[in-house]
Amino acid sequence: MKQESLTAKQVEHMKPGDKRTEVPAGPPAGLYLVVHPTGRKGWALRYRYHGRPRNLTFPKGYPDMTLAAARAEAESLLGELDKGNDPALLQRHEKEVEALQQASVANVVEEWLKREVRPGADGRIQQKAWKETQRIIEKETHPWRTRDISDIKKPDVLRLLDGIVDRGASVMACRTRGVLLRFFKWAKKRGYIEQSPMFDVSKPGADHKDRDRVLEPAELAEVWNASNSLSYPVGPFIRLLILTAQRRGEVARMRWRDVDLDKALWTLPAEVTKNGRIHYVPLSRAALTILGELPRFTGDYVFTYSSGEKPVNSFSDMKEALDGETLKRRKERGAEKNIEKWTMHDLRRTAATLMAGRGVLPHVLTAILNQTADVQASKSSPILKVYQRYQYLDEKRAALEAWADYVVSLTDQKQKAATA
């Protein structure tokens, strides 16, 4: 007796059972409606390829794919079988193509912006910086938008950066390189690529030079004394930058929970350090005095405009206020010009340079700055990694205490000279 064909109405009203049920849905023969106990309905095709049974599940189920559409799809797939092709392999190829399309540079950039550098994520990137990062990555990588991210190689990166330099934007080329370093590092971590195309890509531009501005001791004293006239959080923030020799973003994200005033130790968690390693900064007596005089709020951040809920991030405003104060003091002494242009990062370089000049050994200085000279060695040995976490703590404490004493002596001399 010939079985009647399944109708669209029967598909619509098919009730689920206790177990997964397959109902013949042909023609063509081999097409089945699959009804799950949850009520979900899908389509499957059973056939033989070179004598071996094969099972293919359609990507779309009911009602996204109607009975008529499922039958048409089955006919098309079995037509490929007549040509000697395996429909299951063809479907797998289509999925791979779709996956490749999903891994286009444009799609991965969109995911990176959403997941990794969204504004306010862990306090690590603020709205203004996020918008600039978004602008750079979307504008400069636009020629790559439709390419698979795994196809982007070092020559592609070099051509892109050279093009930015050629239009007279060397600074933007360097910024773009920095953004791409972060982007491809994240893409590798997420499995989109096996190797970053940024390996050994130097800062672009033949005329590019790393900053090497080091403030003279007298200039450093001027900055310190000017900061004393600036209220919280600007003044104390600048002075702790000088005394600790840490990065401005790390000082900005200092939290009270990470500061042990009794042990005179500031512990930077791995998630806030540039190299992703826990870092211990001994606090000098001068640093403890500054911290002890700061206001305490309900939130945890030490330097804040929002009751401790968010860290400070208006570095340009801070620098502008400080420059205004140093110029004001200079004019009071009859000078016309301000201190030669410098950045907040130059305070860190200045501290390192002057400490080295005063006899702090290179390995101790590296430990103070939390640089990555020994990262590969520590990765190879868990014991060494634990050791390095605590290494040179006494030496760092002695060096930072001596550095603080030196800075205070400089500022005292400057104050006396100004009032003489």
pLDDT(377) > 50: no
> What's the pLDDT score for residue 272?
84
What is the per-residue pLDDT for 93?
Answer: 54
- Kindly state whether residues 365 and 316 are assigned to the same domain: yes
pLDDT at 389: 53
Name the domain boundary from 58, 81, 101.
101
Pair 308, 291 in one domain: yes
Helices (runs of H) and strands (runs of E) counted in the chain: 17, 7
Q: pLDDT (tens digit, 9 = 90+) per residue, 119-137?
A: 554 445 556 677 888 889 9
As a whole number, mean pLDDT of residues 381-395 equals 63
Which of 18-22, 81-85, 364-368 is modeled with the greatest confidence?
Answer: 364-368
pLDDT at site 271: 82
Q: Would 196 be classed as within a structural domain?
A: no
Same-domain pairing of 344 and 270: yes
Please indicate, yes or no, whether residues 49 and 116 belong to a single structural domain of this protein.
Answer: no
Residue 407 within any structural domain of the chain: yes
With both helix axes pointing from N to C terminus, report the angle between 217-227 and 344-357 in degrees, rounded to the nearest 10.
Answer: 130
For 84-98, what is each residue's pLDDT tens digit?
887 877 766 555 445
Q: What is the domain range of residue 134?
A: 105-189
- pLDDT score at 97: 47
Here the CATH number for the domain that contains residue 144 is: 1.10.150
| 3-class SS of residue 123 | helix
164 and 268 belong to one structural domain: no
Answer whether residue 227 is part of any domain. Answer: yes
Extract the tokens encoding 149: 């991210």
In a domain, 198, yes or no: no
Roughly how many angstroms between the first and final C-alpha of the chain, as a whole number?
A: 117
User: Is residue 262 domain-shared with residue 332, that is, in the same domain?
Assistant: yes
In a domain, 229, yes or no: yes
Looking at residue 59, its pLDDT comes to 82
Using alpha carbons, list the distances in angstroms from residue 336 to 97, 213, 214, 356.
Answer: 66, 21, 21, 32
pLDDT exceeds 60 at position 229: yes
Give the separation between CA 124 and CA 104, rounded to whole angstroms: 27
Of the candidates 218, 212, 157, which has an alpha carbon nearest to the alpha carbon of residue 414?
218
Q: Are residues 383 and 269 in the same domain?
A: yes
By mean pLDDT, which of 87-101, 262-276, 341-355 is the weakest?
A: 87-101
Say if residue 87 is in the same domain as residue 126.
Answer: no
User: Is pLDDT of 415 > 80?
Assistant: no
pLDDT beyond 80 at 254: yes
pLDDT at residue 267, rounded to an integer: 96
Mean pLDDT of the chain: 85
Confidence of residue 145 (pLDDT cuts 50, 70, 90): confident
Strand order in the sheet with 279-282: 259-260, 265-268, 279-282
Which of 43, 78, 101 marks a domain boundary?
A: 101
Does residue 370 share a domain with residue 260? yes
What is the three-class DSSP state of 254? coil
d(CA 144, CA 184): 13
Q: Of 69, 101, 133, which residue constitutes the final position of a domain?
A: 101
Q: Does the residue 280 lie in any domain?
A: yes
- Quick one: 20 and 117 in the same domain? no
In 261-326, beta strands by DSSP E: 265-268, 279-282
76: domain CATH number? Answer: 3.30.160.390
Q: Is residue 143 part of a domain?
A: yes
Same domain flag for 291 and 171: no
Instruction: For residue 379, name the pLDDT band (cuts at 50, 70, 90).
Output: very low
Q: Work out how many domains the chain is built from and give that number.
A: 3
Please tell me the least confidently modeled range out of 148-157, 342-351, 387-396, 398-407.
Answer: 387-396
The residue with greater pLDDT, 275 or 280, is 280
Same-domain pairing of 309 and 236:
yes
